[in-house]
Amino acid sequence: MANTDKTPKSLPDLLVRNARRFGDGRVALREKEFGIWQSITWRRYLEHVRDFSLGLISLGLKSGETIGIIGDNRPEWIIAELAAQAAGAIPFGVFQDSILSEVAYIIDHSEAAMIVAEDQEQVDKILDLKDKLPRLKKLIYTDPKGLWEYDEKDLLIQFSDIESLGRQLHQNDPERFDKNIEAINEDDLAVICYTSGTTGNPKGTLLTHKNILSMVAALHEVDPKQPDDQFLSFIPLPWIVEQTMSVFSSLYAGYTINFPEEPETAMADLYEIAPSLVVASPRMWEGISRQVMVKHLDASFFKKLVYNLCLPIGYRWADFKFEKKDPPLGWKMLYWLAYAAMFRALRDRLGFSRVRSAMTGGAALGPDVFRFFHALGVNLKQIYGQTEVAGYSTIHRDGDINFDSVGIPVPAAEINIFEPDAEGVGEILSRGPGLFKGYLKNDEATKETIIDGWMHTGDAGFFTEDGHLVIIDRVKDLMHLKSGAKFSPMFIENKLKFCPYIVESVVLGHEQDFVTAMICIDYKHVGKWAEDHRINYTTYSDLAGKNEVYDLIEREVVRVNATLPEKARIHKFLLLYKELDPDDEELTRTKKIRRKFINQKYAKEIAALYSDVEKLPIETVIRYQDGKTATLRTNLIMRTMQPEDAYRDLLKKKGFWAQLKGGI
């Protein structure tokens, strides 16, 4: 085996080291198929990578060429990625739910020589684009179902057939694979990670093996992983956060990666595996907390009583942790009782019974959601970084968690504040060994991003006295009213999304007289609420237009307003007739808001919020997932909030338990 006694200088090197260290004694990958967990040991993992890598070479893949991967999280994805690297090629991922125009752009921009597609759905996407992809040599599929009668025999080939070709080449040239790995230099490109594209087309970030290994080693110093750890891979693999956990860190630490049977079964599989490591996007943590709150509202009297008694105790316990104080004996006993009565069972039901380290990244997580999980005893940590620095720059440390911050810089990362104002707020700069080589085919963007060795992140923030980094918002997204009062829309949006009936929101008000919001209801939870209250509805838009639903959401907005500075309170809001959707370009594939696009698309709705109209007639075209369209006609209601006295009355009503919960 290659490079076994040397310091690993590439990701395939790490795989070789782990195969030598663990052999068949430990499971590297595990996937649920037909209800049964199928295991792949570290030795078999290496053999799969070797065979597929040599098979790609047999098909004509050359060093320096690019190979794309599209599909759900599967062992074949990671095998293909490492196999491409071992062959000297450069892999990149495409989000599995990408529409044709997005797939076409990324594949063409990367000049992909080959594509690994999971199944018929993904193969059809590529075949529809075949005439626009003249460089494509082979389209490799892993699941043959539905593909037996396809005519493109010269282009299509099955994953297992490539492994067979690789085994033949290995028999003829047993040293070929080892020599290929030895030839990899730490400064060679390891992967192209495309950014989320909040302001336009995604940019291809060029990351080397040295970038990745240096940052994963730094992360391991402050948040160590062990070979006994278990991780469930369910966030899309093209995202750098999932790449770090399912590929980079797992190879570095040697822990097991588990793959759900289907994306829809991920939460059930999470419960079954009960992993020790969990990473999820802010949207997923928000969704889990919203689900718990809604089930509590629908629970029996006794369960509601237990919930209402125990959760405030958990919040106070979390606050002791955040304040770095040792709880008094009385509170320790109270928390133990609350844990025994509710938190233990709830954590088990969510799949968090054995969680040792839980993380969230990609966007800011609202402090309310953060406190909620710490109240349950889940050791949730915020991470911060960019694709351009190979993942993470900061992380919360055990025993030093500030829910308003994104943690402290990891050892290999340097963070600075560019041109801070009187309050210390400025643009966040970052540098270190993880800093990327540049953007693919975009020297102008590279020069704008890296200046004098520092990466300009575009995020606004500041350092606290104890060294924690606080993110306020994107620099370009910070807003101010005509009065000069500044506010962060993201902060208010996160507050709103902690409400059990709100799934997304867009806060507005830049250079206006007051703050407004466009809100998307949670169709499932609001629908259940409507059924319980005997309110008839047919579609999402019909439900969102009900006066009773507006009253429900207004109560949630009132609660949020009472926690905000007076100038930043929401004065008016509307309920959108549909959820924001990546397919409609309103969100990125990582669920970040594309504010510029939304401001253009919903210009009439925004103008109505700042006018005297109470209803706005809307006629728009709705596009469904199968490509069909329908015309929607509805009236949008502009709801004006209660006068300020209402908030003062609510604040006066705050009792002991409400104060502990930090809410109304």
Token couple for 293: 């709150």
> What pLDDT, on a 0 to 100 scale, did the predictor assign at position 363?
73
Residue 646 has pLDDT above 60, yes or no: no
Question: Confidence band (pLDDT; 50, 70, 90) for 90?
Answer: very high
Q: What is the mean pLDDT of the chain?
A: 89
- If asked whether residues 411 and 369 sit together in one domain, one would say yes
Mutual angle of helices 42-58 and 11-22, in 10-degree steps = 140
Give the integer Cα–Cα distance in Å for 6 and 42.
19
- If asked whether residues 94 and 76 sit together in one domain, one would say yes
- If asked whether residues 270 and 351 sit together in one domain, one would say no
Of 246, 274, 302, the domain-final residue:
274
Question: Confidence band (pLDDT; 50, 70, 90) for 299?
Answer: confident
> What pLDDT, on a 0 to 100 scale, did the predictor assign at position 624?
61
Condensed to tens digits (0 to 9), the pLDDT of residues 466-523 reads 899 988 888 888 899 999 888 889 889 988 988 889 999 999 999 999 999 999 999 9
Token couple for 358: 């839980």
Of the candidates 31, 30, 19, 80, the one whose C-alpha atom is nearest the C-alpha of residue 53 is: 80
> What pLDDT, on a 0 to 100 scale, did the predictor assign at position 566?
87
Q: Is residue 391 part of a domain?
A: yes
Question: Confidence band (pLDDT; 50, 70, 90) for 200?
Answer: low
| Residue 415, beta-bridge partner list | 430
Percent of the chain clearing pLDDT 90 (strictly above)? 64
Per DSSP, the three-state class of 31 is strand
Question: Confidence band (pLDDT; 50, 70, 90) for 660?
Answer: very low
Q: Is residue 1 part of a domain?
A: no
Once rounded to an integer, what is the mean pLDDT over residues 612-618?
90
Q: Is residue 31 part of a domain?
A: yes
Give the integer Cα–Cα distance in Å for 627 and 581.
14
CATH at residue 32: 3.40.50.12780
Once rounded to an integer, what is the mean pLDDT over residues 71-90?
96
User: What is the rounded end-to-end Cα distance, in angstroms, of the chain?
Assistant: 62
Residue 661 has pLDDT above 50, yes or no: no
Of 457, 475, 493, the domain-final residue:
475
- If asked whether residues 240 and 364 sit together in one domain, one would say no
Question: Confidence band (pLDDT; 50, 70, 90) for 165?
Answer: very high
Q: Is residue 427 part of a domain?
A: yes
- If asked whether residues 237 and 381 sit together in one domain, one would say no
Once rounded to an integer, what is the mean pLDDT over residues 249-262?
96
Residue 656 has pLDDT above 70, yes or no: no
Residue 589 has pLDDT above 60, yes or no: yes
> What pLDDT, on a 0 to 100 scale, did the predictor assign at position 633?
84
> What pLDDT, on a 0 to 100 scale, did the predictor assign at position 620?
80
Of 274, 293, 319, the domain-final residue:
274
The answer to whether 136 and 118 have CB atoms below 8 angstroms apart is no
Q: Which domain holds residue 347?
A: 279-475
Condensed to tens digits (0 to 9), the pLDDT of residues 425-450 reads 899 999 999 999 999 999 999 999 99
Which one of 153-157, 174-178, 463-467 scores highest in mean pLDDT? 174-178
Per DSSP, the residues of 257-294 read EEE-SSGGGHHHHHHHH--SEEEE-HHHHHHHHHHHHH
Once rounded to an integer, what is the mean pLDDT over residues 91-110?
90
Residue 147 has pLDDT above 50, yes or no: yes
- If asked whether residues 303 and 331 sit together in one domain, one would say yes
- If asked whether residues 219 and 344 sit together in one domain, one would say no
Residue 663 has pLDDT above 60, yes or no: no
> What pLDDT, on a 0 to 100 scale, did the predictor assign at position 658?
42
Q: Is residue 5 part of a domain?
A: no
- If asked whether residues 487 and 357 sit together in one domain, one would say no
Q: Is residue 2 part of a domain?
A: no
Widest Cα–Cα separation across the chain: 83
Among 235-249, 461-475, 615-629, which is the least confidently predicted range?
615-629
CATH at residue 578: 3.30.300.30
Q: Give 624 or 205, the one with higher predicted confidence.
A: 205
Task: Please report the beta strands in 545-608, taking only residues with DSSP state E, as ranges in sequence order.
Answer: 570-575
- If asked whether residues 211 and 322 sit together in one domain, one would say no
Mutual angle of helices 301-322 and 282-297, in 10-degree steps = 140
- If asked whether residues 72 and 209 sit together in one domain, one would say yes
Q: Is residue 61 part of a domain?
A: yes
Number of structural domains, the chain?
Answer: 3
- If asked whether residues 199 and 74 sit together in one domain, one would say yes
| Residue 277, beta-bridge partner list | 231, 357
Q: Give 536 or 300, the one with higher predicted confidence.
A: 536
Tell me the CA distances in angstroms from 393 to 203, 338, 365, 473, one per residue in order: 20, 36, 16, 17
> What pLDDT, on a 0 to 100 scale, did the predictor assign at position 527?
93
Give the integer Cα–Cα distance in Å for 554 and 5.
64
What does the DSSP 8-state code read for residue 211? H
- If asked whether residues 336 and 458 sit together in one domain, one would say yes
Once rounded to an integer, what is the mean pLDDT over residues 66-79?
96
